[in-house]
A and B are shown apart, each in its own frame.
Chain A
Amino acid sequence: MKKMIKYIVADILQSRIMIAYTIILLVISFSVFAIEDNPAKGILSLLNIILFIVPLVSIIFSTIYIYNSSEFIELLVSQPLQRNAIWLSMFAGLSLSLSLAFLLGSGIVILVYAWSATGFIMLASGILLSNVFVAVSLLASVRIRDKARGIGAAIMLWLYFAMLFDTLVLFLLLQFSDYPIENSVVALTALNPIDLSRVLILLRIDVSAMMGYTGAIFRDFFGSTSGMLIALAMMLTWIGLPAYISTARFRSKDL
């Protein structure tokens, strides 16, 4: 399995899209910090990139890669290998590659320009989000046989997590603004890994505003150590659950 992962990672890292992704991240991250004389503003600009590009590339790239590897996966299945091992190797290969690309593209720049707790949270968020969206893409591609529909589903999922979900939350907020809904909002955000990462960073860069009445509720929850641990646990669930379900489905999937 280790060797399989190694070859998959090597294969992915050599793909042009992956190299382009890394370089684009590097250029954007670097220019964001180079242009802004204030690292806090750099972090802010980078936040949007991490919440936007990283999930998008992770989910689309993984989905396409899985579909393009279907014959290769068949070949692997014909070999004396456990199906779990094959699927988890694909997952590990994709996760490692995308995390590495992010680390090289944005991580180093963050560490150089923003050596702070916020920077670390950002770095961790980027890596966790890469993994979450690889896991989600595995789930989509194991359930949908057709490649075009699978990629379509991946784009829809991304759109949902990146935009529709927030729109929905905003709608609910406005609808139920007469009720004390702050706690429900906290629970809601935990259902979206992108929001979870965003709120964790928001609590640091907009700490003054977040100390307002409702902000304080969010802060009390996510700002405490236990809150951070819960957030981390949620993120790991977002990785683990889709990975687990997709592996279970792959085990009985007809290729």
Chain B
Amino acid sequence: MLKTTQNIVLLLCLWLTAGLATQLLAGTIRVGKMRAIKSIRTGIGIAKSGDTVLVDKGLYREGNIIIDKPIHLTGMQRPVLDGQNKYEIISIKSDHVTVDGFVVKASGQSSMQDIAGIRIYNKRDVTIKNNILEDNFFGIYLQQAHNCLITGNKLRAHGKAEHLIGNGIHSWKSDSLTIKGNRIEGHRDGIYLEFTTNTQVRQNTSHGNLRYGLHFMFAHHNTYTHNTFSSNGAGVAVMYTHHVHMKNNIFKDNWGDSAYGILLKEISDSDIENNRFEANTSAIFMEGASRVRIKNNIFNANGWALKIQASCMENQIEKNNFLGNTFDVATNSSLVLNTFDSNYWDKYEGYDLDKNGIGDIPYRPVSLYSMIVERFPPAMILFRSFMVTLLDRTEKMIPGMTPEQLKDSTPAMKPVQL
């Protein structure tokens, strides 16, 4: 018993030393205008596995740079790699590559190919960090990548139209990625994940992208926390996915007819918790969503806090705060298959005689006029007129058009403490 333990310890020590040794043995190749090696391509060419290619600051126009061995490509004071609007700038075709500290700009553009600033081809354990990606077609493209880390990058493009620009961070058929602390602006989709699983998306800011701040399809078992998605053309769209966890994110200022804080399409078995939805035209739009738990979120000053289509079922909406939204809930169905519990609705006008903090009469978050507007959008112009107020009041007293069962039977009297 003791022997085995000793052996294990010994083995561990050996392994550690070996590891350290490779580190120490690994060489550093310096590239720069004033140095012997003037081109990054040459630097990479002579580098061995585990070497670091250290690049001085300056402008490098080397077309397509292919990294085909496990090296660290590191920029000193952010050297600029210019793709001259023709090339894919960095292509990573090896595992264990790090790209750190560059300005990568002006990749080629194509409507046939997905040309990116930095692209990973079917590899694993790649780290891309602290880069500035300017004006690229696609920013960072992960194709069947595994266990990669994308962090601290700033991506900015100046897309004019959706078909003339690619996504910021684009991932296809990848797994176990960590996308953390990046900022993406002006791309088509800020972060796009397709067939990407077990991935963490944390602390990113996706702002002012042409289409979606975050967009994923068939991307199961992913977690999104502490991100901010603001002022994107159409907000956030998540589709055909199960087991999504969205927590502590901020969705704000997504304005437009088809702009959503989040568009949930065919999403199931997921949680949306502790997020903040502020000033979106529709905070959450649900279509074909089932078993989604929406809990402890704040919905503030949205046009519609929740738009729930008929195809949604078994969703739980509980302990959220609804504050200053034009409409709290809108639906196109009279069938109610979702539950509302213990939310705080600032429009609630009931009372709490037994002082237990729960309103004594149920709150019906769907107003008659919201249903009229749902069917005849121009009717919005009459909103808040005396006639409309009267209509809504009458409907509240004698419900006729609004779904009878859509109600919160235990509305909170005070905002839920979060």
Interface residue ranges, A against B (CB under 8 Å): 38, 40-41, 44, 47-48, 51-52, 162-163, 166-167, 169-170, 173-174, 177, 181-182, 185-186, 189, 194-195, 198-199, 201-202, 206-216, 218
Contact = CB atoms under 8 A, between A and B. Distances in A.
Nearest to A51: B386
Nearest to A189: B381
Contacts of A201: 384
Given A195-B385, A206-B303, A210-B303, A185 B279 contact: no
Contacts of A41: 324, 346
B256 interface: yes
B385 A166 contact: yes
Given A209-B303, A212-B257, A163 B387 contact: yes
Nearest to B305: A208
Contacts of A51: 385-386
A198 B378 contact: no
B302 A208 contact: yes
Contacts of B346: 38, 41
Nearest to B347: A41
Contacts of B212: none
Contacts of B389: 48
Interface in B261-287: 279-281
B102 interface: no
A173 B387 contact: no
A36 B193 CA distance: 44
Contact of B379 (A44, A170, A210): A170
Contact of A209 (B323, B327, B378, B382): B327
B8 interface: no
B256 A216 contact: yes
Contacts of A198: 384-385
Contact of B303 (A163, A185, A212): A212
Interface size class on chain B is 20 to 34
A254 B227 CA distance: 75
Give the 7 A-B residue pairs with the shortest CB-CB distance, closest first: A209-B303, A213-B257, A211-B255, A209-B326, A208-B303, A166-B387, A214-B377
Interface of B: 255-259, 279-281, 301-304, 323-327, 346, 375-390
Contact of B304 (A40, A173, A194, A209): A209
Contacts of B325: 208
A61 to B, nearest CB: 19
Contacts of A206: 303, 326, 383-384
A104 B384 CA distance: 25
Nearest to B379: A173
Contact of A216 (B257, B302, B385): B257
A213 B386 contact: no
A211 B323 contact: no
A143 to B, nearest CB: 26
A174 B382 CA distance: 12
A232 B258 CA distance: 31
Contacts of A194: 385
Contacts of A44: 384
Nearest to A162: B386
12 contacts: A41-B346, A162-B386, A166-B382, A174-B376, A174-B379, A195-B381, A195-B382, A206-B384, A208-B302, A209-B304, A214-B377, A215-B257
A202 B346 CA distance: 18
Contacts of B258: 213
A230 B386 CA distance: 24
A209 B281 contact: yes
Given A167-B387, A209-B304, A212-B303, 4 more contacts: A163-B386, A206-B384, A211-B255, A214-B380
Nearest to A169: B382
Contacts of A167: 387
A208 B281 CA distance: 5
Contacts of B259: 211
Contacts of A52: 386
A232 B99 CA distance: 59
Nearest to B388: A166
A209 B380 CA distance: 9
A185 B376 CA distance: 12
A216 B250 CA distance: 24
Given A211-B259, A212-B281, A218 B385 contact: no
B380 A215 contact: yes
A210 B380 contact: yes
B324 A211 contact: no
A208 B323 CA distance: 13
Q: With a 10 A CB-CB cut-off, give which of B280, B302, B304, B380 has the most chain A CB atoms.
A: B380
A212 B259 CA distance: 8
A21 to B, nearest CB: 19
A44 B389 CA distance: 12
B256 to A, nearest CB: 6
Nearest to A209: B303
A234 to B, nearest CB: 15
A129 to B, nearest CB: 13
Contacts of B279: 207-208
Contacts of A195: 381-382, 385
